[in-house]
Amino acid sequence: MAMIKALYTQYFPASPTLTEKDVGSQVGKVFIITGSNTGVGFDLVKMLYPSGATIYMAGRSEERMKNAIQTITSVSPAPATPATLKYLPYDLADLSSVKSAAEIFLSQETRLDILWHNAGIGGGLGLTTKQNIEGHIGINCVAPLLFTELLLPRLTAAAKTNASSRIIWTSSAITEVKAPAGGISLSLIEKLASTDPFADYAGSKVGNYWLAAECARRYAKDGIISVAQNPGNVKSEFYRHQPGLMMVFVNPILYEPKMGAYTGLFAGFSNDITTTKNNGAYIWPWGVIVGGHSRKDIQEGIVNGRAGEFWEWCREKYVAYL
pLDDT tens for the chain, 322 residues long, are: 678 889 989 989 999 999 999 999 999 999 999 999 999 999 999 999 999 999 999 999 999 999 999 999 999 999 999 999 999 999 999 999 999 999 999 999 999 999 999 999 986 788 899 999 999 999 999 999 999 999 999 999 999 999 899 999 999 999 999 999 999 998 888 888 788 888 999 999 999 999 999 999 999 999 999 999 999 999 876 655 555 555 555 666 788 999 999 999 999 999 999 999 999 999 999 999 998 999 999 999 999 999 999 999 999 999 999 9
- Indicate the SS3 state at residue 52: coil
CATH number of 2-321: 3.40.50.720
Q: For residue 198, which of 117, 285, 119, 136 has the smallest C-alpha distance?
A: 136
Known catalytic residues are: 201, 205
Beta carbons of 202 and 179 less than 8 angstroms apart:
yes
Using alpha carbons, list the distances in angstroms from residue 257 to 195, 260, 267: 30, 5, 16
DSSP letter assigned to residue 277: S
CB-CB neighbours of 157 under 10 Å: 18
> Would strands 288-290 and 282-284 be described as parallel, antiparallel, or unpaired?
antiparallel
Q: For residue 58, which of 142, 122, 144, 150 has the smallest C-alpha distance?
A: 144
Write the CB contacts of 198 (distance below 8 Å, at least 6 apart in sequence): 123, 174, 178
Q: For residue 112, which of 120, 97, 124, 101 has the smallest C-alpha distance?
A: 101
Q: How far apart are CA 198 and CA 122, in angstroms?
A: 7
Domain boundaries, the chain: 2-321
The H or E element containing residue 223 is none
Q: How far apart are CA 96 and CA 45, in angstroms?
A: 26
Helix H segments across 140-196?
Answer: 143-162, 175-178, 186-191
Q: What is the pTM of this model?
A: 0.96
**What angle do the packed helices 306-318 and 95-108 form, to 10 degrees?**
90
